Structure 1
């Protein structure tokens, strides 16, 4: 026995609840239910909306380079706990680097020997990018412990990249960085 209105789209819970209260003569409850549903969706949208990019995250948020903040955060940790954290981040970095390496090597081998599909190649590329992102993240956290400070990502990159490699930053940022270097 098929329903007569199978081709109609399904109504949302809010609309069904509003209809339920409206049919029972409680129109005020129907409007209240739909308002609560709209408020819930609005709050949910605000929570899922990405935060704006913080420009201080690149060059560092702290005037002292994050030394005081690191000492505050690590003050309750012993030296062995910090060493275990450091080794854990280095291990995680190595695991993600090897996962990325396997993903990259699997692409040509899979195409040559196993005739893998395009979707599988795209997923291997995505796995490689994800692994490299996680490896850099783990290395950044290991660098923070190694340095004993919460430095900016720019400081991390300048210490990790070869000395002959340059990072191009906008003039306004370059001036701020040079001023900060002179003040030290």
Structure 2
């Protein structure tokens, strides 16, 4: 059996120290991204029937769930929901056929549910704090907190029907808005 020959070659030469490579040119890239925001919205029942009553009496009932949904993802996520009403009318709208907003009372009641952080404040937590809708009123507000949030309440409307109105079906528009 033959053994392989191992040959070593020694290189003779000048030994020099290695020099560092020149730094490559650099360039920066600015990277950004956006956190999208959605809307600040309010939802209220399309219609409600308070029932029947007589001239000179009071009729009241709950409107159903009203909800504010805030998906703005804001650092300061505060808002105010307001409520207003037109007069109740029937027929041609003569004085005998109207109930003015000053005779319409509203109270928000407490929150039914809420999500997110912060303080949710009902405009009128109890019946004792009811307000007339002769001018727009605060229905609910969020006074502190950040990020997405929501609140739901079920307000009550009380109509003081004048003794001078005529029989008929009276209709008004109650408007909730948020900003």
TM-score band, normalised by shorter chain: under 0.3
TM-score, structure 2 normalization:
0.19
TM-score, structure 1 normalization:
0.18
Larger Rg: 2
- Greater helix share, structure number: 1
Higher-RCO chain (CA-CA 8 Å, sequence separation at least 6): 2
- Greater strand share, structure number: 2
